[in-house]
A and B are shown apart, each in its own frame.
Chain A
Amino acid sequence: MTYLYSAILFSAITAILFAKSTTKGMVAVSMVFVTSLFSGFIAVPALVGNEYQILLAGTIPFGAVSIKIDALSAWFILVINFTMITGVIYGKSYMKPYARQRTNLTMHWLSYILLHISLILICSVQNAMVFLISWEAMALSAFMLVIFESYKADTLKAGINYLIQSHVSILFLMLGFIFVAVKTGSYDFNAIVEFSHQQPVMAGTVLFLSFFIGFAIKAGFVPFHTWLPHAHPVAPSHISGIMSGVVIKIGIYGILRMVLLINADYTTIGYIILFVSIFSGVYGVALAIIQHNLKKLLAYHSIENIGIIGIGIGIGCIGLGTANELMATLGFMGALLHTLNHSLFKSLLFYSAGNVYQSTHTMSIERLGGLIKQMPHTALLFLIGALAICGLPPLNGFISEFLIYGGIYDWLFSADLISLIIVTFSILGLVLIGGLAIFCFTKAFSIVFLGLNRSPSTSSGNTTSSGSESEMSFWQLFPMYMAAALMIFIGLFPSVFLNLLIKPVALFKSDIVFNPNLPQMGTLDSLHTINWVSAGFILFILAVWGIRKLVNQSKVIATEPTWGCGYCLPSSKIQYTANSFVRTYTKLAKPMLCIEKDETEIEGIFPTKKHYDTHPYDNIERILIDIPLIKVAAVREWFVFLQNGHLQRYILYGIIFIASVIVIPVLIDSFLIILQFLNHL
């Protein structure tokens, strides 16, 4: 089977190398399909419980390499496969306008395939070195994908920013693995288990933290998120979808895997993850609201959703720590399910953003508007995505958030004072996230798709704006409908997926003795209720809609301009803008955010053209990235005199080196002697 696969892979690569640029995409699509088939063929049985495991001979520096796909890996592999498939189908048509850049496209599709394979490898290898290698392969291929439009300066800048930060993440992972390897002398993942059993719990926690930081950078937890809002917007839309759909999820996978492997103090870990996640969630959405670049807005929402997933994991860990089975179950289930959900609706949203970009060639939502007339499909899909990401019933987002809420409320009953306070904060955080998300997506959807077109090209009030905008081709919409369909399915029949999740969650609970006499909530059963409730809800809506139709049949239906409170000349200029929509919020949140204004006051009776821009900035980025870079440059400037071209100085270095090596020990000795003397006084 392996040979067959590698043969196909090889032929695909050669095909991409030499095919003409229109067919490259087709090859990539089929290759992704093949990969998904092969991996799914292994993963599906693994998900329902029969693990797949093989041991490869490996090489001298690595030792034996064991490949193992358990339920957890299987879940992630399937999630990855789905989004990669939708991504490649969408991307194939999305890339049509770029058909002239042949080499560029070749690199693009090759990296796409490499990314897919490396992601699957990451989910399945059990050997530190191979893991690191596939990890960096993933990072590099993702980088190549992001910088597709590399001739744009800021694209390259964002790409390099991403590359360096993922390298930092790999450094942290390396430290962790070295720690294990030094103590146990093996690179296999089982060594980590062994390690955490023989070492004190403290060591285990430290180890976990090192790994956590490493994975958190990839996953985009605040404050390690700074690469994310830059990398996602500059990438081609299907890549943005994949980046925030699956690539950052790999970080989540890593964290979960480490929770599985490291036998540390779960409660502490849980608290840490919980805090970081709540902060990430709130911070992400708080910044998302003030973004006026559609893709950047979505990028910040990825941070928010990572936060939600993290809350789930944190709850799960605390559940393990406090031997509260239901809590653990709900937490991890919620986290895993939300991983799937987010990969679905976030890729969907990014694809829609891509459609918008291709038809209007701008991402600044202040220039958009009224697109629902030209692009009804895109609008509808975006609406579905928005509802889902806000966690509104009857869509999938609600299910996972409901599970996490369940976990938190379940924690309520087994908690002591301190943790009760934390419970309240978690609830507050989650609710705030939800509310802000609604605020944000009402803004995004309505400004982009509703009202009139704001772009200067069509400033006149007519609703059919410039006309250049048009709906995308079928093959570009099809993958989006795939995602949407799956989302609705999850929303309506969650229990199906919960049953699929039983095995992965069981892995976490395997080696914990749970406390049976804790109050058990029927939250899981209630999901079965939600099945038919949401179905009923939809039916009810349809019923009311039907009634409305019936009633309105016999009525006079007129169409008039919008009621302008007496001013009957509606123009795109007088519409509410995104900026004004969030103005109150911005004023409230000013201390937390940092927005630079660039405005010119209006004066005179007949004022000339004025403008008013706001540039939202990320304070954490400023503190963690910009300022240190400036500092580095400053320190650098102190030392550039070294290579100053003067021969004598060069020789002086030699003298100084020799002299100091001779003298300094003498000085130190004498100093010590004096010290001793003083001590003996």
Chain B
Amino acid sequence: MTGIYLAGAILIVILIFANRNKIINNVLLILFGLLQSVFTIYQCSNYKGTDLGYFTSDSLGILFLITLTVVSLPALFHSYLYINRHDESPQSRSVYFAAIVLLITSISAAYLANHIAVVWIFTELTTLSASALIYHHRNKLALEGTWKYVFICAISITFVFIGILFLSLSLSGTGSSDLSYANLMAKSDQLNPFWLRLAFLFIFTGFTAKLGLVPMYTAGVDAKDKAPAPAGALLSSALMNMGFIGIFRFYTVIAQTPLHHWANIVIFVSAILSIFVATVYMTKVVNIKRMFAYSSIEHMGLVMLGIAAGGIGYYAAVLHLILHALVKSSLFFQFNQLYRVFQSKSVAYVGNYFKYNPTGAIVLLIAFISATAMPPSGLFVSEFLIFRALFEGQYIFVLLLVLLLLTIIIWAFAKNIFKILFTPVVGFDDSNVPQINPWESLTQYALLLAAVWLGLNPPEIFVELIRESVILLQI
């Protein structure tokens, strides 16, 4: 099935790219949507099955795959609206759609890959497709964003590759040369620690570019800023999850070795620095999209804290990723409507949104509550569990520091969001404000409610899957 999926997806990509006809494009899009959903359902059905030898549908993969599909269908829908509204040239339209389809495909493949090299290949593909999306507007800034993103990602990919080489070196002592995670787990006790150390360091550093952590988070911010909002939604939700999978699967291997503690320290450093950076810029930026991007960085920092803290933290981290994906994508979708009202990305020129589009404003409000993990939202549960994990691991000072930083972040976030929602902008003439169709916000409500529901009252199976996905770490 995976084969069919990949083949079909590639075919669709090529077809979209090839033809310039609007109708056919949309049809193909719908086809892909169907394909994606069918594929997801199939993967759920053959749980723990392996296709083509390299794709295993394990619980983590399935969880993220479902999240991706749930996010990507609205993403396609919103992209459709977006493209139509900007009456693009057929060429740029087809490039855009082809790229987004390719992005989704490669991300899903990367989720399921059970071999570190395969993950790596699909990571490269995501860079390719993402760069096309970022460059969609074809102006100087977009070009700059693309250039930086591509370059940073290329370097990071190289890092990952070097990491893989070191890994193979550390493996070469054991006589086997199979880099699949299963084998690594099996051989974990014989791996050469020196090479393993370097391997983890490089692989971690490399994947931070996708995951959005210090040190390589930098280009990601520009990318999310420059890409069209629906694409930005994918970049800041599913793509980050992919980066997480890249690190996490290898971390599970490390966790079996004496290097576990060292790896935790590295992750701690990176995570805390990320939250700090997020704090610095959340209080600084006026560009709404960049603000969202930095808040994603903050959340990823929290997630990695959960991983490093261990215990219940693993569970919390995965949960947090999924919920964050839902919430953040809905925020990005909402941004489009916001932009249509005010024609500006800057907080300074945006305000009193409640008056012009109450439905969207309420989305923004709920999304804000969720993104800051205030209690009624689902992320509160995961964040609470992460804090609990930190407490349990006796990282009290880390916890206090993080709480302090988070408070500052919430303050900054609240200031901007409520400015957007309530404070009228001086000299903004609302004569030609477009009437936003409230039904467009439906998907966003759905995503947000899903986030709340999964957080507060998760179904048994969901909890089981998450437990299953971190079972290897419970040592």
Interchain nearest-CB distance for A243 vs B (Å):
18
Partner of B407, one of A59, A140, A156, A168: A168
Interface centre among B198, B279, B456 (most CB of A within 10 A): B456
Flag whether A171 is at the interface (Cβ < 8 A): yes
CA A156 to CA B411, docked complex, whole Å = 13
Distance A656 CA – B457 CA, assembled complex (angstroms):
43
Whether a CB of chain A sits under 8 angstroms from the CB of B317 is no
Contact yes or no, B391 A657, CB < 8 A: no
Contact B375 A135 (CB under 8 A): yes
Encode B274-318 as 1/0 by CB contact (under 8 A) with A.
001101110110000000000000000000000000000000000
Tell me the smallest distance from the CB of B293 to a CB of chain A, in Å: 10
User: A168 — which chain B residues lie within 8 A by C-beta?
Assistant: 407
- B201–A662 CB distance below 8 A: yes
Asked whether A129 and B381 contact (CB < 8 A) given A60-B463, A160-B418, A653-B214, the answer is yes
Q: How far, in whole Å, are A160 and B411 apart by their CA atoms in the complex? A: 8
A643 within 8 A of B: yes
A538 to chain B, nearest CB (A): 49
Q: Are A653's CB and B218's CB within 8 A? A: yes
Rounded to whole Å, the gap between the CB of A137 and the closest CB of chain B is: 6
Contact between chains at A103 and B354 (CB < 8 Å): yes
Q: Give the size range of A's interface with the partner.
A: 35 or more
CA A164 to CA B458, docked complex, whole Å: 28
* Interface residue SS majority, chain A: helix
Residues in B whose Cβ lies below 8 Å from that of A658:
159, 201-202, 205
Is the beta-carbon distance between B216 and A640 smaller than 8 angstroms?
no
Q: Is B392 an interface residue (CB 8 A)?
A: yes
Residue B387 lies at the interface, judged by CB distance under 8 Å to chain A: yes
Q: Is the C-beta of B245 less than 8 angstroms from some C-beta in chain A? A: no
Known contacts A61-B458, A171-B403, A636-B283; decide if A137 and B387 are in contact (CB<8 Å): no
Query: B398-439 vs A: 1/0 string, CB under 8 Å?
Result: 000001000110110011001101111000000000000000
Contact B423 A150 (CB under 8 A): yes
B388 engages A178 (CB within 8 Å): yes
Of the candidates B276, B369, B407, the one whose C-beta lies within 8 Å of that of A171 is: B407
Nearest-neighbour CB distance to chain B for A209, whole angstroms, equals 15
- B49 in the interface (beta carbon within 8 A): no
Residues of A within 8 Å of B392, CB to CB, are 182
Q: Is B214 a contact of A179 with CB atoms below 8 Å? A: no
- The verdict on B152 contacting chain A, using a C-beta distance below 8 Å, is yes
Pick from B266, B277, B460: contact of A60, CB under 8 Å: B460
Task: State the CA gap A104–B392 with chains docked (Å).
Answer: 44
In this complex, the member of B147, B221, B384, B407 whose beta carbon has the largest number of chain A beta carbons within 10 angstroms is: B384
Contacts A174-B384, A182-B388; is A137 near B270 (CB within 8 Å)? no
| Cα distance, A199 to B224, chains bound together (Å) | 49
Does A164 lie within 8 Å of B410, measured CB to CB? yes
Chain B window 327-367, contacts with chain A (Cβ cutoff 8 Å), 1 for yes, 0 for no: 00000000000000000000000001011001000000000
Q: Which residues of A contact B216 (CB under 8 A)?
A: 650, 653-654
8 Å CB contact of A640 from B280, B391, B414:
B280
Complex Cα distance, B205 from A175, in Å, reads 32
The reply to whether B148 and A61 contact each other, CB–CB distance below 8 Å, is no
Fill in one digit per residue for A655-679: 1 if any B CB lies within 8 Å of its CB, else 0: 0111001100100000000000000
The answer to the question of B60 belonging to the interface, with a C-beta cut-off of 8 Å to chain A, is no
Does A170 reach chain B (CB closer than 8 Å)?
yes
Q: Which residue of A lies closest to B459 (CB)?
A: A60
B229: interface (CB < 8 Å): no
B151 contacts the other chain (CB 8 A): yes
In the complex, chain B residues whose CB is within 8 Å of the CB of A167: 372, 374, 407, 410
Residues in chain A near residue B455, CB distance under 8 A: 61
Residues of chain A in range 120-152 having any CB-CB distance to chain B below 8 Å? 129, 132-133, 135-137, 140, 147, 150-151
- Is A651 close to B, CB under 8 A? yes
Known: A59-B456, A636-B284. A151 touches B423 (CB 8 A): yes
A163 contacts across to B, CB distance below 8 A = 414
Q: Establish whether residues A643 and B202, one from each chain, have CB atoms under 8 Å apart when the complex forms.
A: no
Asked if A159 is at the interface of the complex by the 8 Å CB criterion, the answer is yes
B155 CB–A CB distance under 8 Å: yes
> Does A565 sit within 8 A of B, measured CB to CB?
no
Specify which chain B residues have a CB less than 8 angstroms from the CB of A159 in the assembled complex: 418
Residues of B within 8 A of A160 (CB): 411, 414-415, 418
Q: Return chain B residues, CB-CB under 8 Å to A651.
A: 151-152, 155
Task: Give every chain A residue within 8 A of B424 (Cβ-Cβ).
Answer: 151
Inter-chain CA distance A506–B276, complex, in Å, is: 49
Looking at the assembled complex, report how far the CB atom of B10 sits from the nearest CB atom of chain A, in whole angstroms: 32
Q: Is there an interface contact between A643 and B214, defined as CB atoms closer than 8 Å?
A: no
Given A151-B352, A156-B422, A657:B214 Cβ within 8 A: yes
The reply to whether A60 and B214 contact each other, CB–CB distance below 8 Å, is no
Q: Let me know if B152 and A133 touch, CB within 8 A.
A: no
- Please determine whether A654 and B155 come into contact, CB atoms closer than 8 angstroms: yes
B423 touches A153 (CB 8 A): yes
Q: Which residue of B lies closest to A635 (CB)?
A: B280
- In the complex, whether B173 has a CB less than 8 A from a CB of chain A is no
Q: Is the CB of B376 within 8 A of A140?
A: yes
A642 to B216, CA, bound (A): 12
In the complex the two chains form, is A657's CB within 8 Å of B280's CB? no
- Known interface pairs A650-B148, A654-B155; A178-B391 also in contact (CB < 8 Å): yes
Minimum CB distance partner of A653 in chain B: B215
Q: Closest CB of chain A to B24's CB: distance in Å?
A: 39
User: What are the residues of chain B within 8 A of A632 when measuring CB–CB?
Assistant: 283, 408
A325 to B421, CA, bound (A): 54
Q: Which of B190-248 contact A (CB under 8 A)?
A: 198, 201-202, 205, 214-216, 218-219, 221
Is B380 part of the binding interface, using a Cβ–Cβ cutoff of 8 Å?
yes
In this assembly, does A567 line the interface, its C-beta being within 8 Å of a C-beta of chain B?
A: no
- Provide the bound-state CA to CA distance between A577 and B408, in Å: 42
CA distance A654 to B218 in the complex (A): 10
Binary contact readout B450-466 vs A (1 if CB under 8 angstroms, 0 otherwise): 00000111101001000
Contact present for A147 and B374 (CB under 8 Å): no
Tell me the chain A residues, 335-358 only, with Cβ under 8 Å from chain B.
none
- CB of A568 within 8 Å of the partner chain: no
Bound state CA distance, A142 and B11, in angstroms? 55
Whether A588 sits at the interface, judged by CB under 8 Å, is no
Bound: A175/B406 CA distance, A: 14
Considering the chains assembled together, what is the distance between the CA atoms of A153 and B423 in angstroms? 7
Bound CA span A543–B147, Å: 93
Is A654 in contact with B422, judged by CB distance below 8 angstroms?
no
User: How many angstroms between the C-alpha atoms of A366 and B268 in the bound complex?
Assistant: 57
A647 within 8 A of B: yes
User: Is A181 at the interface (CB under 8 A from chain B)?
Assistant: yes
0/1 string, B155-182, CB within 8 A of A gives 1: 1100100000000000000000000000
Cβ < 8 Å to B, chain A residues 89-136: 103-104, 129, 132-133, 135-136
Residues of B within 8 A of A633 (CB): 283
A133 touches B376 (CB 8 A): yes
A262 to chain B, nearest CB (A): 18
Nearest to B400 among chain A residues (CB) is A175
> Which residues of A have CB within 8 Å of B411?
160, 164
Q: Is A639 an interface residue (CB 8 A)?
A: yes
Measured in the bound complex, the distance between the Cα atoms of B279 and A636 in whole Å is 8
Q: Shortest beta-carbon distance, B132 to chain A, in Å?
A: 20
Inter-subunit contact A650/B219 (CB<8 Å): yes
- Per CB-CB distance, the 7 closest pairs between chain A and chain B, nearest first, are A136-B375, A150-B422, A657-B215, A653-B215, A650-B218, A59-B457, A133-B375
Known: A182-B391, A647-B147, A650-B218. 9 other contacts (CB 8 A): A103-B355, A151-B424, A159-B418, A164-B414, A174-B384, A179-B391, A657-B205, A657-B215, A662-B198
A sample of 17 cross-chain residue pairs with beta-carbon separation below 8 angstroms, ordered by A number, consists of A60-B458, A103-B355, A129-B384, A147-B418, A147-B422, A156-B419, A159-B418, A167-B407, A174-B387, A179-B391, A182-B392, A633-B283, A636-B283, A639-B280, A640-B284, A654-B156, A662-B198
- Chain A interface residues (CB < 8 Å from chain B): 59-62, 103-104, 129, 132-133, 135-137, 140, 147, 150-151, 153, 156, 159-160, 163-164, 167-168, 170-171, 174-175, 178-179, 181-182, 632-633, 636, 639-640, 642-643, 647, 650-651, 653-654, 656-658, 661-662, 665
